[in-house]
Structure 1
Amino acid sequence: MFFFVDLPLVNLSVEPQPVLEGNLIKFHCSAKANPPVTLYRWAKGGSIIREVFGDTYEVIVDHSFFTEPVSCEVTNPLGSTNISRNVDVYFGPRMAAEPQSLQVDLASDAVFNCAWTGNPSLTIVWMKRGSGVVLSNENLLTLKSVRQEDAGKYVCRAVVPRVGAGEKEVSLTVNGKLCY
């Protein structure tokens, strides 16, 4: 009689995918091993999840699961096998670089920076409050040689289709020329 003896063969499934942030997701770690599995160990982004011991891990997902893979390590007397998976989490815009209000001199350039993350891909729109005109679809909004009428509130808005939107408002103050 011949017995096959080896490290565990492991498969890690994730259901459902993609998943909207705030919903339940289930990881299932299936293993074939001879000798039998003695331990399952779970981690997220390299940090051990101490409260989970079996072959299944259920959790409410947030945006961090998009960048921090979940791994399952299966051990038998011959050693361990580790496998990990990223989760395709859909999440609304999160600010990565917050724009700052500016005070600039007349005829100088004003540059606002506004960066967002989101999944799936997001769109960015810069507009002046009260105007329906799109000034930029980039992280940067550059206003060249500002005039007094450029002063006011500007809005950086990010939209993740079918998931959510976010916006941040900043002010532009234009200093006039000094008269002597």
Structure 2
Amino acid sequence: MITEQYIQTIFAPEINLTLDGKQTEGELIRITCEISSRPDFDEIQWFNGSFLLNMTNQTRLEVKLTRYMHGNRISCQVKNQVGKRNQSLTLQVNYKPVFVDLHGNEMNNYSVVLVDEEQRVELQCLVSSFPSSIISWIFNEKILSTNQTTLKIDHLQIGSYICTAHHPLFGIFNQTIRVALKGPPEMLEETIIHSAYVGQSALLICSISKDIPTEEIFWSRDGQSKINSNEKYEIEENRTDRLIEYKLLIKNVFVSDEDSYICTTMNQYGSSIAKFQLRVISLKNYFIQRSFLYGSIVLGLSCCLILIVITLINHYRRKNHQRIRKRSSTTDETISSLAKQHDQMQHDYQDETNSNMDQYLFHEQFINNHRDDICDSSHDDQFYFRDNLERYSTVV
């Protein structure tokens, strides 16, 4: 009796991880966990570092890459009755440069450093990117240093210093650091004249640079206390990356509102003001100006219309004159042609008359020379010679 036995070897899962896709910020990659095991696996788990992902029992993982995933370890862990195995790979994410502080927090691309006169300044430019970027410092379009994150300035020059990060894949990125002297806030405009008509609203806008810190901003009338928001006045503040707009809206303007309005901003180093002169135009002046405006418009349109009419008349006259001259020229040519034909006819008639006269004279001379030899014919208008019976006509 022969007995056949089959022996099956069981083993823990064997794993092979493969990555498909471009490891660049914003791209989608696919990581496949290829598994060989006997008996079949019971469970698959995916990990991002030490964090378990919600991707149980799936052999493929799809991930959209971010800069913060650079250097993360993605692991695939598989378990069967024999044991548990895992394999991992490290992400190398290419991402564009960002400017960061000492703690790795992302910074704006524009900043201001306040210094005292004759103070030594040290500027710092930290860049996060992969692969690493080449850093250069530029001032007044001149390169000061290369491959240095710190720039030391012994002889202070006020102005904007540019830190340039050159990335091999994403190009050039700039951070501007403005070095300014410590002082009061900077007003972009100091004196402004604004006009409004009675009954309208007047909007005054005070523009303040954010380069120098500002602690307080307020509006006031010349020689009076601060203005607060109420039924007459409305105050609004808007901030952008480099500018503060502090607005004052004066509602239902009267002649009594004509005055100087002052925008004041302060910090620990002092204060700055911007003066707005409000001019209120009364209804009388309003109607006079409107009448003058509309009268000027009507006068201008009338002048334009007159010029157009004159132009059309002159154009018509020129066309009519050209037609008359053309007709006159045609008549002259016709008369000249008729005169030439008349002269030709007279010339032909004269030639014919002269020819007939010459013939007549020739016959008379001929008859006179042969009068003795001529015999009259029975016809009154014919004759013949004695020696020649051929008859000749006396009619020319």
Distance 1:62 1:53 in 2: 25
Shift of 1:164: 4.1
Residues 29-44 of structure 1 mapped to structure 2, 5 A cutoff: 29-44=33-48
Compare relative contact order (CA 8 Å, sep 6+) and give the higher one, 1 or 2. Answer: 1
Contact 2:43 2:56 in 1 (8 A): no
Distance 1:35 1:94 in 2: 50
Contact 2:15 2:33 in 1 (8 A): yes
- Establish whether residue 93 from structure 1 lines up as the match of residue 97 from structure 2: yes
Aligned length: 170
The unaligned stretches of length 5 or more in structure 1 are none
Shift of 1:69: 1.5
- Establish whether residue 132 from structure 1 lines up as the match of residue 136 from structure 2: no
Shift of 1:162: 2.3
Deviations along 1:24-75, one digit per CA (max 9) or x if unpaired, are 1110011111121111111112211114540101122112232212111111
- Establish whether residue 143 from structure 1 lines up as the match of residue 150 from structure 2: no
Q: What root-mean-square deviation, in Å, do the aligned CA atoms of Structure 1 and Structure 2 show?
A: 2.2
Distance 1:90 1:52 in 2: 28
Distance 1:62 1:82 in 2: 24
Contact 1:90 1:163 in 2 (8 A): no
Distance 1:173 1:16 in 2: 48
Scaled by the length of structure 1, the TM-score of the pair is 0.83
Residue in 1 aligned with 2:114? Answer: 103
Amino acid at match of 2:11: D
Contact 1:65 1:86 in 2 (8 A): no
Residue in 2 aligned with 1:14? Answer: 19
Distance 1:140 1:102 in 2: 14
Contact 1:92 1:159 in 2 (8 A): no
Identity of aligned residues (%): 23
Distance 1:94 1:34 in 2: 49
Contact 2:94 2:131 in 1 (8 A): yes
Distance 2:7 2:152 in 1: 73
Distance 2:90 2:68 in 1: 10
2:37 is paired with a residue whose SS is strand
1:20 is paired with a residue whose SS is coil
Shift of 1:90: 1.3
The unaligned stretches of length 5 or more in structure 2 are 1-5, 102-106, 184-396
**Higher Cα radius of gyration:** 2
Report the structure, 1 or 2, having the larger strand content: 1
Distance 2:34 2:99 in 1: 38
Among candidates 169, 187, 208, match of residue 162 of structure 1: 169
Distance 1:79 1:169 in 2: 58
4+ aligned runs moved over 6 Å, structure 1: none
Distance 1:20 1:141 in 2: 31
Amino acid at match of 1:59: V
Shift of 1:175: 5.8
Residue in 1 aligned with 2:84? Answer: 80
Deviations along 1:93-129, one digit per CA (max 9) or x if unpaired, are 122325963222333321111111212221112222x
- Establish whether residue 118 from structure 1 lines up as the match of residue 152 from structure 2: no
